[in-house]
A and B are shown apart, each in its own frame.
Chain A
Amino acid sequence: MAFSAFATTTQAVQAPKRTSRVALLLLLPGILYLALFFLVPLVALVITSLQAPAEFGDIGQFQNAFRWENYATVIGQYGAQILRSFFYAVLATVFALLFSYPLAYFIGVKARKWPLLQNLMLVMVIAPFFISFLLRTLAWKQLLSDESFVVTGLKALSLLAPDAHITGTPVAVVFGLTYNFIPFMTLPLYAALERLDTRYLEAGSDLYSTPFTTFRTVTVPLSMPGIVSGVLLTFIPAAGDYVNASREFLGGTGTTMIGNVIESNFLVSLNYPAAASLSIILMAVILVLVTAYVRRSGTEDLL
């Protein structure tokens, strides 16, 4: 499964030790690809993040340096946006998990008796992918706009204050993030639950365990690989997302996330070192959080 590389450190089976030229040859394209499109850009990014403004240069002209204070500057300047990014990403991940688990459970376990329904529901989970993610997010902007039936309806029911909006608020951004990443949560969960042996649930029930306790002590631990994959596939892109939070889509001035800051620094203010150091901070924080999460969820114990 995706990201199992994080989890299987203890379980890695020793491959037979036999260095063969063919194996190296087959590995070469992959190694070259990684070197060219991952390592080189990463090094370039680190170099850029340490650059200083060029002397007597124009805006957007920088020279190589070791300006470590770039990092301190962006953290001081954008600390709120960084925190907000991770807060929104955590919220979106939790909501996506709460929404996807029952859905995946239904498709993967309850609907086993009806393969047609199972396939139909899977198609419905995947179908939104066929339409551009930007278009779908724009459509939600329309659906949640001030004149939309959603907002007017909520106002008519006095669930929303007369002068309130949905677009441009954190609610809309978190909603958009949740919506856009639900398939990434549902599919790994489905893959894990589809393999769930219901005989374990019968055994749990036979051993004096109520349905809820069986769910807590048997179903959830057995679907942990799916939960971990889904959380990672949702949390990582959501933390760096800049579409949902941008003002052209669902966000507003108060919802700027780290992705939007990087975008504006790079494209608008042409402050490449700031954009680069923000990117590296984002990457580092995600790496730390994800490692801690995988360690804690203990998926390496699963089979």
Chain B
Amino acid sequence: MATGGFAESGADLELVGIRKEFPGFTAIESLDLTIPAGSFFALLGPSGCGKTTTLRLVAGLEEVTSGRILIGGKDVTATKPYQRPVDTVFQSYALFPHMSILENVAFGLRRRKIADATGKAHEALRLVELDHLAGRKPAQLSGGQQQRVALARAIVNRPALLLLDEPLGALDLKLRRQMQLELKSVQSEVGLTFLHVTHDQEEAMTMADTVAVMNRGRIEQLGAPAVLYELPRTVFVANFLGQSNLFTGNVVGSTSTSITVDVGGTPIVVPTARSHRHSGTVTVGVRPEKLQLAFDAPTATSALNILGPGRVVDVSFSGVSTQYLIAVPGIGTIVLFAQNMVVGPVATEGAEVWVSWQVEHGFGLEDTAEEESRFPADTDTAALATQSEALLAELGEG
């Protein structure tokens, strides 16, 4: 493998029962994951969720506590990083400061004794449009250019699997957008399997075919970005991937197509097919942009859920849309995004409003929204220590 040729195409990555413990805490509980060849897979999660650790395990930079890693059907669990057909675009880029851009890109090719390393390195640099800077040192390049060099240095080796460790994190918004598109086009051009780790949900959704949302060392939900967004399975996914209005209550009635949940006296109807639970206490939700704002009570129909009257407590304008916070007695605060289309109601703070949405836009979750924060309670020092260790491990210093 180490001296072999280029991978013909991307390879499957299979993680079987991966567990990773660091002294004092467990970074990954138990992870099973299959990434099909040629796909663009994003691992999304907050800091400390174990996503970077997963990536380092695949690269071979950390050893698994238990479990197996298979690349293209071959068990690589026991092999060293340099023996794996995997390349990484590091978060810090890690370009060798003492080598020219060209030598950086040719490094992997030279190690594998591939003929015409210089020519292939130039080719890769042309792909990222940096061939004219081949003679420079990394320190003489801007952050965005370094990022592209790091990408060229990895893809020039045609790895079966390319790992991207938040490589766009250091770039400004405009450059990030541009690089996202470039990465995506490079991926379809070279047909490799990409595993992209990020905490930026928008980035994950824009770029990946499949997104896995990770939390506390486990995968919460996995699927196409649109599916994840429209039909989140857990409270964590509903809140991490975009924003959600969540309501918890008991199921008080059900038909063959829908269930009715009593939330503080107001019935909320959710399609059965869009709910993961159909009896007992259920948390249901709806995305803020699916909500309609009205100054008069809308006419109740079976296709509409109506909450109100409530009071607008906050209005924030953000260009394309306006975000309203509406306090509804007995239910709580609701977030609502309204497109700024001039026509339609424009509410001011203190206005009395009703909120409604189409029944088919609601979703029911598998777990219930407890008053649970994303991080363990940091009231005692032990929890603080665990949290900081987890963060350090995530940053690759642990």
Contacts and interface: CB of A to CB of B under 8 A. Distances in A.
Interface of A: 197, 199-200, 202-210, 213, 217-218, 221-222, 224, 301-303
Interface string B134-158: 0001010000000000000100010
Contact of B111 (A200, A209, A221, A301): A209
B80 A199 contact: no
Contacts of A221: 98-99
Given A206-B87, A208-B112, A218-B96, 12 more contacts: A199-B92, A202-B61, A202-B90, A203-B90, A206-B59, A206-B86, A207-B157, A209-B107, A209-B108, A224-B98, A302-B97, A303-B139
21 contacts: A199-B94, A199-B396, A200-B94, A200-B97, A202-B81, A205-B60, A205-B61, A206-B88, A207-B82, A207-B87, A207-B108, A208-B108, A208-B112, A209-B111, A213-B111, A222-B97, A224-B98, A301-B98, A302-B98, A303-B97, A303-B137
Contacts of B111: 207-209, 213
A209 B137 CA distance: 21
B2 interface: yes
A188 to B, nearest CB: 17
Contacts of B86: 206
Nearest to A208: B111
Main secondary structure of the interface of B (DSSP, over half): loop
A219 to B, nearest CB: 11
Contacts of B90: 199, 202-203
A203 B94 contact: yes
Nearest to A210: B82
A200 B88 CA distance: 12
A153 B137 CA distance: 56
Nearest to B2: A208
A96 to B, nearest CB: 24
A197 B87 CA distance: 19
Given A199-B92, A202-B94, A218-B96, A208 B82 contact: yes
Contacts of A217: 107
A206 B61 contact: yes
A210 B137 CA distance: 24
Contacts of B157: 207-208
Nearest to B98: A221
A143 to B, nearest CB: 42
Nearest to A199: B94
Contacts of A301: 98
A210 to B, nearest CB: 6
Q: A-B pairs with the 10 shortest C-beta distances?
A: A207-B108, A203-B94, A208-B111, A205-B81, A221-B98, A199-B94, A209-B111, A206-B88, A208-B82, A208-B112
Interface string B158-197: 0000000000000000000000000000000000000000
